[in-house]
Structure 1
Amino acid sequence: MEFQGIILPLEEIQVPSEIEVVTDSQYVINSMTKWIYGWERKGWIKGDGNPVGNLDLIKRLQALMRYHSIKFTWVRGHSGDYYNEICDQLALQAAKSPTEVDVGFLSRLK
C-alpha cells in the first residue's frame, strides 16, 4: 500500500511537475532511488536471485518519475510528524473498508 499511496495521487497530476514525496517507507525510497537501477539492469532480479516484488507498482512509479521531477524525503514513522500521523489514520480507515482492487495482488493465504 505504500506504493499505491504514492502512485494514485501522482497519476492524477496531468502536467509534468516538481513533487516532493514524503514517506516513512525506506523500502519505497531505496527501491526508487538506489536499487531500481541494478534491478532493471539485471532483468528485475534482486541480488539474491529472486524476482523483484511489487514489480507492477515499481514500474508504474518509475514511469511517473520519468514524467515528473520527484524528490523523496524520509520521515520517521510514528514519531509525531503531523502529516505522517494523518496518513496513518487514513490508511487504517481505508484498510477497514477497501474500495479499490489491487489487480497485481496475490494472496499468501491461499
Structure 2
Amino acid sequence: MSEPMIVDVFTDGACLGNPGPGGWAALLRYGKIEKVISGSEAETTNNRMELMGAIGALEALTRSCGVRITTDSQYVKQGMEQWLARWQANGWRTSDKKPVKNQDLWQRLAQAVARHQVQWFWTRGHSGHADNERVDRAARLAAERQSQDA
C-alpha cells in the first residue's frame, strides 16, 4: 500500500483598505514540486481574501489527498476547527442568532475541505516564516494589480 499524498499549503489574503481591492495567494508544495496561485477581487475584505486563499488552494487539487494548511489567519483556522460545525447545525447563524458573515465562502470552503484530509496550522503573520512571507507578497501583488485595473 502506498503512502497517501500529502500536500503542504501556505495561504494568505491582502486587502488595500477594508473593504477595498483585495488579493489572495496560496503556495502548494508536494515534495519538491511547488506552485503559487493567486486571485483578486475589486471590492472585498481581508477576511474574504483569507478564506479565498484556502479555497483556491483546495480547489486547485485535482484529487483527494492529505493537506496541511498553514495560515496566518486565526479567523480561518478557528472557523474551520471551532465554529463551522456549530454554524451548520444552527442554520448558518452565530450563537447570538445573527447570520454568519461570509457564509458563501464558508460553505465553499467546507465543500472543498470535504474532499481531503485537512490539518490546520497557524503562523504569526510578518514574523519571518519564509513561506508565509512569500504568499503575503503574492497576495499583496494580486491586490495591487486589481487596484490598478479598477
TM-score, length-scaled by structure 1: 0.85
Aligned-partner residue type, residue 70 of structure 1: V
1:24 equivalent to 2:72? Answer: yes
Alignment partners' CA distance in 2, 1:95 and 1:33: 28
Identity %, equivalent residues: 39
Which consecutive unaligned segments of at least 5 residues does structure 2 have?
Answer: 1-48
Selected match of 2:100 from 48, 52, 55: 52
The structure 2 residue matched to 1:40, chosen from 74, 82, 88, is 88
1:84 and 2:132 matched: yes
Q: SS where residue 77 of structure 1 aligns?
A: coil
* Number of residue pairs the alignment of both structures matches: 99
Match for 1:42: what amino acid?
Answer: N
- Give per-residue Cα distances to partners, 1:31-64, cap 9 Å, x unaligned: 1111011111111000122110111111111111
Greater percentage in strand: 2
TM-score for both structures, normalised by structure 2: 0.63
* 1:65 paired residue among 100, 113, 116: 113
For residues 56 and 88 of structure 2, the distance between their equivalents in structure 1, rounded to whole angstroms, comes to 23
The CA deviation at 1:86 is 1.1
Quote the RMSD (CA, aligned, Å).
Answer: 1.3
Moved >2 Å (runs of 4+) = none
In structure 1, the partner of 2:50 is: 2
In 2: Cα distance, 1:89 partner to 1:62 partner = 26
One-letter code of the match for 2:80? M
Q: 1: CA distance between counterparts of 2:114 and 2:57? A: 16
Q: Name the amino acid aligned to 1:84.
A: N
CA contact (8 A) 2:67 2:116 kept: yes
